[in-house]
Amino acid sequence: MRPTPVFEQLGLIGCGLMGGSFALALKQAGLVRRVAGYSKSPSTLQRARELGVIDVEAPSALLAVSGADLVLIAVPVAATEDTFKAIRHLVGPEALVMDVGSTKGDVVAAARRSFKDKLAQFVPAHPIAGKECAGVDHADARLYHGCQVILTPTPETRTAQVDRARQVWTALGAQVRQMSPEAHDAAYATVSHLPHLLAFAAMNAIGAQPQAQEFLELAGPGFRDFTRIAASDPSVWRDILLANQAEVLAQARHFRAALDTLEDAMRRQDAAALQSLIRQASEARARWRLGGQADPSAPPESP
């Protein structure tokens, strides 16, 4: 097995939860000697330094990547293209560049437009990890341990860079998979982006009713689990839903068709059909495994 690379400097663009956790994880694993960080917010940058997330406060994204042999772009997906433009001229010829965006087709398109000759060094990545609480104060060196990380290299990406990216994430305890940006966006519209949209809609539907507070006071663990992701960062999810609009809307159509089928069985008082539809969903959920592993929250399967 190839040795895990040790980097002289991480140029961190975006010192929030995802970027901060990556920097802390690299440091804890002994994979980086210095972290130069940049954030649009001076207070965030200062806090990142106080918490030991970064070692050097860079006054610009361009200076954060100067001398870096590893660059992580951890900004909202809508800001990715501007970041590529800002850093392109000081990214070293051998530096590994990654992002952590939740959509990949738009990120790859932005890289083609703005990263140009550096595209061969760019390995788009999506760690399937996070918290409801954003910000550098919640950065956690263990955030990526045990999670999946999806790599979506372009045809132009050098194989050696993909290998380096895989080694880095594996060293942080992640399970690495690889797919095309298009396949990624279709898959995550299904299992992440649409569920968030539904949770947002459910909370808004309740909130629009006069009895909303009374209803919420009566809610239990099932409601808590179903709506947990509705507490996610609004600006992050605004960008994700707009960036992956076509795939999310396609999945919304599938959802409406399934909901229509359940509602039709209810209107017809067809208990057998309703039970069959619920059983179908229940059995599919029981068979599902998080990252291919058993879900400890799922009820035991029948023998």
Q: Domain map of the chain by residue range?
A: 7-179, 183-287
CA neighbours within 13 Å on the CB side: how many for 59?
Answer: 0
Query: Using 50, 70 and 90 to split pLDDT, how confident is the model at 77?
Result: very high
**For residue 296, what pLDDT is reported?**
41
Of residues 134 and 206, more confidence is placed in 206
Are 169 and 99 in contact by the 8 Å Cβ rule? The answer is no
For residue 34, give the nearest of 15, 21, 47, 53 by alpha carbon.
53
What is the band of 130 on the pLDDT scale with cuts at 50, 70, 90?
A: confident
Beta bridge partners of 126: 150
The answer, as to whether pTM is greater than 0.85, is yes
**pLDDT single digits (tens) 240-274:** 999 999 999 999 999 999 999 999 999 999 999 99
Q: Indicate the CATH number for domain 183-287.
A: 1.10.3660.10
Q: Quote the CA–CA distance of 23 and 31 in Å, as a whole number.
A: 10
Same fold, 7-179 and 183-287: no
Backbone angles phi, psi at 95, to 5 degrees: -65, 140
Q: CA torsion sign, 180 to 127 to 165 to 136?
A: positive
Please state, for a pLDDT cut of 70, what percent of the chain lies above it.
94
Facing residues of 12 across strands? 37, 72
Tokens describing residue 257: 């068709």
- Residue 101: the pLDDT is 94
Among 2.60.40.150, 3.40.50.720, 2.60.260.20, 3.30.300.90, name the CATH number for the domain at 7-179: 3.40.50.720
Residue reference for tokens 């209803």: 215
Q: What is the DSSP secondary-structure string of 223-241?
A: HHHHHGGGGS-HHHHHHHH
Return the structure tokens found at 30.
């002994």
Report whether pLDDT(1) > 80. no
Instruction: Check residue 79 and report its DSSP letter.
Output: G
Q: Edge to edge, what strands does the sheet with 56-57 contain?
A: 56-57, 32-38, 7-13, 70-73, 96-99, 122-123
